[in-house]
Amino acid sequence: MDAFARHVDVTALTRDQFVQLLETLHMLGRTGAGIELSSLSTEVLVDIVRSASKEQIKAISEHDELRHVFIDEIFRRMSDHFVPERARNIDVVVSWRFTPGDGADGFDRFQTVIEDGICVSGEDLDRAPDTTITLSVEDFIRMATGSVAVAAMFVTGKVKVKGEYAPAVRFSSYFDLPQP
């Protein structure tokens, strides 16, 4: 899958072609064809996002199914990129609210729990949050793939924090994130 993806020139695709390619790959994965977005290495997934235009990433965020596929994939990979040594003595519950969302209140909701040197992420885990981070799906995709500087997202107000501010600011330092 990585070999195929490396040969796709994302910059040559229109917004609609980009979505159609991702829809096709996702559909092949659902049918058991052995071709799945989740089989892409993190490096290749990051390269795709970095190569994609803002309009292409926005198209993912506006697509009901692909939005969930990308968010789920990023949260699935979080524990793989978690660096326990960087989070010594840290116990934190971060709730995530993404716009646009299809939840009852207009948000997609997820949580990340870091405790005892372990990171677990997924849809709302019913834990009381220490901090809640609200941002758009497209900004989250860019942040998680290192396509934008995390600090800049806070400074420009694209990331909103409710609750303890320090865990939100330090959060990305607990992971081995791709660098822009």
pLDDT in tens, 138-149: 999 988 888 888
Confidence of residue 103 (pLDDT cuts 50, 70, 90): confident
Dist. CA 12–CA 96, nearest whole Å: 33
Please give the distance of CA 115 from its chain centroid, rounded to a whole number: 21
Q: What is the pLDDT of residue 129?
A: 95
Residue 39 has pLDDT above 90, yes or no: no
Q: Please give the order of strands across the beta sheet that includes 131-136.
A: 118-123, 108-115, 92-99, 131-136, 160-163
* Choice between 178 and 47, residue whose per-residue pLDDT is larger: 47
Taking residues 35-62, report their average pLDDT: 89
Residue 130 has pLDDT above 90, yes or no: yes
Global confidence as pTM:
0.88
Cα distances (Å, whole numbers) of residue 76 to 112, 142, 152: 11, 16, 25
Peptide bond between residue 84 and the one before it cis (omega within 30 degrees of 0):
no
